[in-house]
Amino acid sequence: MTAIDTRTAPPLDTAPVDGAADVHCAGVSKTFAGGTAALRGVDLHCPSGAITVLLGPSGCGKTTLLRCIAGLETPTSGGIRIGDRDVTQTDPRRRQVAMVFQNYGLYPNKTAYGNIEYPLGMARVPKRERRDRVTHIAELLRIDHLLDRKPAQLSGGQRQRVGIGRALVREPAVLLMDEPLSSLDAELRVSMRTEIRTLQRKLRTTMVYVTHDQTEALALADQLVVLRDGRIEHSGGPEDVYGAPATTFVAGFLGAMNLLDAQPLGLPPGTLGIRPEDLLLGEAPGALTLRGPVVDADLIGTERIVHYRCGRETVRIRLRASDPVPEQITAHAPTDRIHRFDPEGNRIGKQP
């Protein structure tokens, strides 16, 4: 995560717009001074009024792409459109985007009210309208009773709501969120993520949301975009990306699929992908059987991920936590639950 201090970032456009706008990135590349190629020809359409989630491992270019859309970075090549305007060279303040950062970036000496109101003051919005807009957003975020507190007197989740409020009060055409929940504890992350989704549904804002947390990505995305090394590896509806990952990288990153070398199993070269939940205990005629000794087990609530050795591979299977962990496992994968990938790691066929 590139730490950004919003207090040094240029003020953003605060004029209300007529609803959300879509975002188009065409062939966006960004090479930093020193030669790091953070983005390599990204083509992306973020539909209006929907949540697009950018997911990928550290350093894959998520934040750089978000900053290019915000105008905080200029692409080395390629173009960006917001609605029907080409904004590639447009000042961030004139893009009608707002950004929420991981570190909140609140002014410590201003109250929650003062923080949310700040961008409206910068835009010389009349005082009375400012009050109405701040009150409205605070009610939506359920922080209206906390408006006279300073950031230090707020919990992490409350501070994050103030940060979101300050972005939303501008009524931006596009709301950009860079790992906004990563500093919250697990329980609060889950409830804040539900709130963000509910709020987005209510306001129909176009949202581009960066995370490296696959659970958060699946829960929030209307469109899920998996990035790797500055390129889009797979994009689509979350069910489609999870259900039929385009590459072994996407399969392994999203949902921790078992990826098995096909040749030792008597098949042509390539990789077989089987999700732990798609392995069933016992054998079945004609089904691929995977058998071996148990080496480890992780409890995850009502289920357990059991690891067992099968030849040179370690296979994961999902079992009920209430059942004892066996010493040996024999399991099979129904043919229609096996994903196939060629030796380059690209998916073969549409369905699993």
* Chain contacts with ligand ATP (rule: CB under 6 A): 1-2, 32, 34, 36, 38, 56, 58-64, 212
Residue 58 or 302 with smaller CB distance to ligand ATP: 58
Q: Which is nearer to ligand ATP, 38 or 272 (CB)?
A: 38
> Can you tell me the distance from the alpha carbon of 227 to that of 319, in angstroms, rounded to the nearest whole number?
31
Q: Kindly tell me the burial class for residue 188, based on how many C-beta atoms sit within 10 Å of its own C-beta (0-12, 13-18, 19 or more).
A: middle
Count Cβ atoms within 10 A of the Cβ of residue 37 and give its class: 0-12 exposed, 13-18 middle, 19 or more buried: middle
* Residues 88, 70: Cα–Cα separation, whole Å: 10
Is 56 or 105 the residue whose CB approaches ligand ATP more closely? 56
Report in angstroms how near the CB of residue 227 gets to ligand ATP at its nearest.
7
Q: How far is the CB of 2 from ligand ATP (least distance, A)?
A: 4
Distance CA 151, CA 186 (A): 21
Q: Pull the structure tokens for residue 30.
A: 């960004």
344 Cβ contact list (under 8 Å, min separation 6): none
Give 227 or 331: the residue with its C-beta nearer to ligand ATP: 227
Is the Cα dihedral 121, 48, 79, 235 positive or negative?
A: positive
Return the number of the residue (56 or 75) whose C-beta is nearest ligand ATP. 56
Nearer to ligand ATP, 38 or 175 (CB): 38
Task: Between 32 and 311, name the residue whose CB sits nearer to ligand ATP.
Answer: 32
Q: How far is the CB of 128 from ligand ATP (least distance, A)?
A: 40
- Closer of 61 and 75 to ligand ATP (Cβ): 61
